[in-house]
Amino acid sequence: MNLLDSLRHFVPELILVGAALLILIAEMLHLKKSLAFLALGALIAAEIILLDLFRGGISDYLFNNSIVIDNFSIFFKFIFILATAVTILLSIPYGVRRAEWGMGNAECGIQSVECSIPHSAFRIPHWDYPLWRGEYFAILLLATVGMSLLASANDLLIAYIALETVSISSYILTSFLKGDRKSSEAGLKYIIYGAVASGIMIYGMSLLYGLTGKTNFAELSAAIQSLSESIPSGKGVTPLLFISTMMILVGFGYKIAMVPFHMWCPDVYEGAPTPVTAFLSVAPKAAGFAILIRFFFSLFVTSSDGNFLLTRSDVPWTIVLGFLSALTMTVGNLGALKQTNIKRLLAYSSIAHCGYLLMGVVVLSNAGLSAILLYFVIYLFMNMGAFVVVIAYRDVLHSEDIKDYQGLGWRSPFLAVVLSVFLFSLTGLPPLAGFIGKLYLFAAVVQQEFYWLAVIGALNGALSLYYYARVIKTMFLEGRPESGSEPQPLRVPVYYTYLAALLVIPIFILGVYWIPLSNIAEKSIQILTLIK
């Protein structure tokens, strides 16, 4: 496509960029109440345009073949936009509380520890920095643009720039609570790990470019095929190709929290504002999987008889990725067993789910890819839904420790039941949607006869039930009121109650009626660079 046609198909991203700039202008004009609604309006407009593109089944290259637009990228963009919209909805109450309770004394400042007004007058801890500032929503939108570019990248340079856009935005969002030491520490750790991973990745890209002289994925694929045919295995090309690819996978693995590049995840999830934690647990992870799949399948896999076969390298990629998948889910679940902070527990849970999702990449099949897409939609609802309840309880309890959840099943029964549903769905118990997601992943693994990986995955699923059930046990079986006494109700903001109820509905619906979503996922796995 020429430049004008490319811009026409790039409208969703342009809308988000324009909205980010308008939000910054509205901030300067002190139009704070309109910021969240302006961001949500831009996301809705982008979603409508993407829906039209998806229905049209467009598959083409944009901007001199550096970006791809196909159903695969559009599907992930839906996930990014939906996750960002939920994050904004989670962040709105922070602004309401601040506007009502925290703006009464401009001279004192809500963050000042030396403030003469007791913190109880504000009803929230002093370190709860407002999330309704213009730069917060602008950075969220720009992070969404970066993730969209990452899902559509067809060039090493575009992939690197998009990944850095997402990463830098994530660093800022993580450390947004300026008065909170944990938030600052989390942002520092995040940027250090990210800088190291980024440096390794760009060095791997330079090695790959030096080997092939190309940066475009399609051209890299042809160059690798030519090298594989012209030079016998073991003469130096395959080891260098393997090393460069593994270095690139370091950057992608860091983004999805794959072991051994996961160390940042628990600290960042604990220290970041909880709406940001919910965002990081879904959207950037999905973007990392999108670029991982496109890069790996474009360069090393070719389509044959409706499935994928390794033909461009004699490196045993299935063994390498299978080992990383098993290691990731095992480390994630074992790490979650001893956690006492609910956000750290969900962080290790997120690492484990990365291992489950990697199984879909390992099998190199259409069924594996469609299972990943299906699982990500389900994962968005159950994981972000769990964080909604965590935020609601934290707002009242001022704590994220699991031990402080004692008796919540009696004091706040609705949200306790909803949180239990999300946790059981994350475990993969029927008839909830999480069971369907894992069923498709395990079916794809068994279909390709990776029985050892299926067994490890099943054992890890059973292991995860222990720490999820521990949270439920704390809420319902500990701190029960004495016989004859009435439990003291916990007054949770009704806003979070409605939002949690909205997110739990798809968990039940997709648990019994998932075929339409499965059909959409199957329609979305045709990666343009693999269409010959």
The pLDDT tens digits for 459-482 are 999 999 999 999 999 998 887 766
Strands 301-304 and 307-310: antiparallel
Reduced DSSP (H G I as helix, E B as strand, rest coil) percent helix, strand, coil of the chain, to 5: 75, 5, 25
State the Cα–Cα distance between residues 448 and 398, nearest whole angstrom. 48
Kindly give the parts of the chain with pLDDT less than 70. Answer: 1-2, 32-33, 94-132, 228-237, 302-314, 481-486, 527-532
pLDDT at 233 (0 to 100): 53
Dihedral over alpha carbons 247, 251, 252, 258 (to 10 degrees): 90
In this predicted structure, what is the pLDDT of residue 101?
Answer: 34
Alpha carbon distance 235, 165 (integer Å): 38
Angstrom distance (rounded) from CA 224 to CA 404: 56
**DSSP string covering 268-290, please?**
HHHHS-HHHHHHHHHHHHHHHHH
Residues counted in the chain: 532
Q: How high is the pLDDT of residue 229?
A: 66
Q: CB–CB of 154/68 below 8 Å?
A: yes
> What pLDDT, on the 0 to 100 scale, is given for residue 156?
92
For 254, residues 6+ apart whose C-beta sits below 8 A from its C-beta are 193, 194, 197, 261, 264
Phi, psi at 62, each rounded to 5°: -120, 155
Return the DSSP state at 216. Answer: B
Neighbour-count burial for 294-306, b at 16+ CB within 10 Å, e otherwise: bbbbbbbbebeee
pTM over 0.95: no
Cα gap 523→239, rounded to integer Å: 36
How far is Cα 280 from Cα 413, in angstroms, rounded to an integer? 28
Cis peptide bond N-terminal to 493, omega within 30: no
Q: 372: which 2 tokens?
A: 């990943």
Q: Give ∠ CA 85-503-396 in degrees, rounded to 5.
A: 90
* 392: CB partners within 8 A, 6+ apart: 415, 492, 493, 496, 497, 500
Bridge partners (DSSP) of residue 491 are none
Residue-wise pLDDT tens digits, 66-90: 888 888 999 999 999 999 999 999 8
Using DSSP, state whether 66 is helix, strand or coil: coil
CA distance 14 to 24: 16
Q: CA-CA distances (angstroms) from residue 39 to 67, 88, 281, 490?
A: 25, 8, 20, 32
One DSSP character per residue, 403-414 reads GGGTTHHHHSHH
pLDDT of residue 310: 55
Helices (H), 213-273: 217-230, 237-256, 264-271
C-alpha R_g of the chain? 23
